[in-house]
Amino acid sequence: MASDRRRNCTCCGKHDSEVGPISWRGNCAACGTALLTENVLGIANREGPAHLRRLRGIAQRLERDYLDAMARKP
Ligand SMILES: [Zn+2]
């Protein structure tokens, strides 16, 4: 879905007259596809920033669950 607020891609910086509609996340179609592919491959291969971002999310979730369990302990 395109956003009417944005005129330039936040990834490549090109104008929407050049690259087409800009998504609500701020990416043109080519950058959106490239970012999606990078994330999928990074998580599948366990390497790169996507893998580290996923690990950080898992660690934060475990920490929250641990703190909740400790708070319930009498
Ligand atoms: Zn772009």
pTM of the predicted structure, to 2 decimals: 0.71
Ligand 1 centroid, distance to 66 Cα (angstroms): 40
pLDDT of residue 1: 67
Ligand 1 centroid, distance to 61 Cα (angstroms): 32
Ligand 1 centroid, distance to 42 Cα (angstroms): 20
pLDDT of residue 26: 94
Ligand 1 centroid, distance to 55 Cα (angstroms): 27
Residues 6+ apart with CB under 8 A from 38: 48, 50
Ligand 1 centroid, distance to 57 Cα (angstroms): 26
- Per-residue CA distances from 36 to 15, 30, 42 (Å): 21, 10, 10
Ranges under pLDDT 50 in the chain: none
pLDDT of residue 35: 95
